[in-house]
Structure 1
Amino acid sequence: MWNNLFSNFQLGGLDLPNRAVLAPMTRTSAELSGKANEKMARYYARFAKGGIGLVITEGLYPNHVNSRSYNYQPGIADEDQAASWQPVIEAVHREGGKVIAQLMHAGALVQHNDFTAIAPSAVQPVGELLKEHGGSGEFATPREMTKEDIQIAIDSFAQAAVRAKKVGFDGVEVHGANGYLLDQFVTDYTNQRTDEYGGSTENRIRLTVEVLHAIRSAVGPNYIVGVRISQGKVNDFHHKWANGEKDAQTIFEQLAEASPTYIHTTEYKAFAPAFANTQFTLAELAKRYSHLPVIANGKLGDPEKAESLLADGAANMIAIGREALVNPDWVNKIKEGRALNVFCHQSLEPIATLREEEYA
């Protein structure tokens, strides 16, 4: 019944036992210093123990200057932060899993007052700060980035990727989705620049492409480098690209030229058409125009939906988020025919604050 979901997959140099991926999810459970801790090692290892072949971490900020979004967000901005991830990596590996570090620059979506946020343009983010991560009220208006700021951001992504490789991560994923810095450049209303990083869709995806090129140059041709892309954002859930499939073609073709190992698309419903005038999902469009392996994320905790998406060739792997929080053994439960726990928002807090023995 699960011929596709539980089949092996070769993602670059990683031989994975199945097509199930743990989606990156903000947990804000690191030390205030940005270092990973023992609780996080137990947390991530649970998913590998439960059968998920590939774990993608929450977003790690790449520099101390202006990239951190949340208090208690983990970082990989220096050697000490990177070294703190070794026990996490080892814990996942002991359980037979692989683990990829997601690299995330907040841009304008900053939920503290430790520095002035930067963004493509001085445009106040829509929506309000995220209460579940300690915020309240409106976002501050960011400072427009200079060319020097842009180069610093590119370099910080590349240096973070080098640290991730050195410390033992199996790969990195560039967070170009969900309204954070790279997505702010892609989004028309947050990017009002008139230079080579603004205006056309090709210009607006340029920074993400340059980040991928810089990382690939720094880590070499064989290291796993992915990129996550979305239309919706944490502060603008329903956003769609203005030019529909034409924008998708430009974005995915340009990303492919930067030689990532895979593209990771995330939508509210990964199995739904990406635009009103097309039958194709965002994952399908990513495959069509990039010719790269694609991870799809979005309401795929139902194994029948996940299997169907894979069987149709719409994606190569599926990423599970909130359903994995209440079913860290999602893969093993499905294999054994056991019932899945049903996700509800009230179940988030117990998962985030599990006692030590509950991580065993």
Structure 2
Amino acid sequence: MGSAQSVQSLFKPFSFGDTILSNRIVMAPMTRQFSPGGTPGPDVAAYYRRRAENAVGLIITEGTVINHPDASNQSNVPHFFGADALDGWANVVTEVHNADGKIVPQIWHMGARGHVNDYSVSDIEVIIQAFSQAAFEAKRLGFDGIELHGAHGYLIDQFFWKETNQRTDRYGGDFVGRTRFATEVISACRLTVGPEFPIVLRFSQWKGTDYTAKLVKTPNELESFLAPLVDAGVDIFHCSTRRFWEPEFESSQLNLAGWTKKLTGKPTITVGSIGLDRDVTSFFTEGKGASLSRVDELIERLEHEEFDLVAVGRGLLADPAWASKLREGRIDDWIPFDPEAIKQLY
């Protein structure tokens, strides 16, 4: 384990806009399908409260579905529309805030059933409005911001990626042109929530169907890709990689979050096998668990201000006290992640 001072660097407050986080640890969004009929119940509120009580600075919820027929085909993924679902989320916010936590919903559309090329402009306008309505509801319910899911091959990312976007209208083109759908979603949300409500955008190079995929191949391309997203109103970039320690480009050791911060000046969240020594693919392909490691390297990068916030996924799934145990120097007490954790979420 690193020095006490190093550990403490993860527990320094962080401010963006009017929002003050007690520390730099973020709970990454993780789909659980524990909301029957799309409605999160008291068990979901208790699940998030436990993490807030145990020193998680910011909770990003599991993906929540916008009000569009194609947005999800999974009945137990929580909705972010409809009276029952929104009442459930209001209870989640209350529980997390009562534990002195901060929470933002990840709002998503899981992807076109066919192809983004099949959507007409009027279809796209309806989807943008659904994202905007979800942003409005998040602010109304008292959330501390929103995260738009633009990663891993979901709808916004389908527009980003050349393999899934061959449109020839204003929503297609080169890697900059393919940001237009995202910028219109972001702008619509910004118009709805006002200038001070934080908007986080999660993006990735890799896709669920192609771990080697690249939206951009050089720092200059990344800068051009990010610029319209910044102009549209993104406050924080959540930069999803499979292993946080891997450099994004050959020219430096910076990871994707490091490059994004350097090029935009915006705060970034890093994520990718944090606290674990095996990446996510081995769990799904081999059914193997992951042990604990690399925390020292993570802290060193944070102290060098490569990124601002650190998202933990499977570590917090397995152990709701992951962050408090780290703060107290009890990492030997961490509960390791293994496949059974998926069946025993608490």
TM-score normalized with structure 2 length: 0.89
Q: How many residues align?
A: 321
Match for 2:30 among 2, 25, 28? Answer: 25
**Alignment partner, residue 342 of structure 2:** 348
Q: 1:211 maps to which residue?
A: 185
**Which of 91, 101, 104 does residue 108 from structure 2 map onto?**
104
One-letter code aligned to 1:191: N
Q: Are the equivalent residues in 1 in contact too, given 2:205–2:216 (CA < 8 A)?
A: no
- Does structure 1 residue 197 correspond to structure 2 residue 197? no
Instruction: Give the counterpart letter for 1:303 in structure 2.
Output: V
* Cα distance in 1, alignment partners of residues 264 and 299 from structure 2: 22
Contact 2:110 2:154 in 1 (8 A): yes
Structure 2 residue aligned with 1:88: 92
Spell out the pairing of 1:1-360 with structure 2 (5 A cutoff).
Answer: 1=4, 2-32=7-37, 34-108=38-112, 117-121=113-117, 144-276=118-250, 278-301=252-275, 302-338=294-330, 339=332, 340-351=334-345, 354=346
SS at match of 1:328: coil
In 1, Cα distance between the equivalents of 2:319 and 2:125? 41
The residue type equivalent to 2:63 in the other structure is G
Identical-residue share of aligned pairs (%): 35
Report the counterpart of residue 138 of structure 1 in structure 2.
none
Where in structure 1 are there 5+ consecutive unaligned residues?
Answer: 109-116, 122-143, 355-360
Superposed CA deviations along residues 191-218 of structure 1, whole A, max 9, x for unmatched, are 1111111121111111111111110001
1:190 aligned partner, one-letter code: T
- Please give the per-residue CA displacement for 1:141-195, whole angstroms capped at 9, x wherever unaligned: xxx1110111111111001100111112111111111110000011111111111
CA shift in 2, pair 1:22/1:69, >3 Å: farther
The one-letter amino acid of 1:317's match is L
Which residue of the partner structure matches residue 288 of structure 2?
none
Q: Distance in 1 between matches of 2:111 and 2:11?
A: 37
Contact 1:271 1:309 (8 Å CA) reproduced:
no
Structure-2 change in CA distance of 1:64 and 1:205 (3 Å): closer
Any unmatched runs of 5+ in structure 2?
276-293
Letter in 1 for 2:45: A
Contact kept in structure 1, 2:206 and 2:213, CA below 8 Å: yes
Q: In 2 relative to 1, CA 246–280 (structure 1 residues): closer, same or farther, beyond 3 Å?
A: same
Q: How far does residue 283 in structure 1 lie from its aligned partner after superposition?
A: 0.5
- Contact 1:12 1:224 (8 Å CA) reproduced: yes
Give the whole-Å Cα distance in 2 for the aligned partners of 1:305 and 1:83. 41
Give, in whole Å, the separation in 1 of the partners of 2:314 and 2:42: 22
Give, in whole Å, the separation in 2 of the partners of 1:271 and 1:209: 29
Q: How far apart, in 2, do the equivalents of 1:69 and 1:291 lie?
A: 37
Q: Any idea what the Cα deviations from partners look like across 1:216-258, whole Å, max 9, x if unmatched?
A: 0011011111110111122323322353333311222121111
Q: Secondary structure at the match of 1:40?
A: helix
Partner SS state of residue 176, structure 1: strand
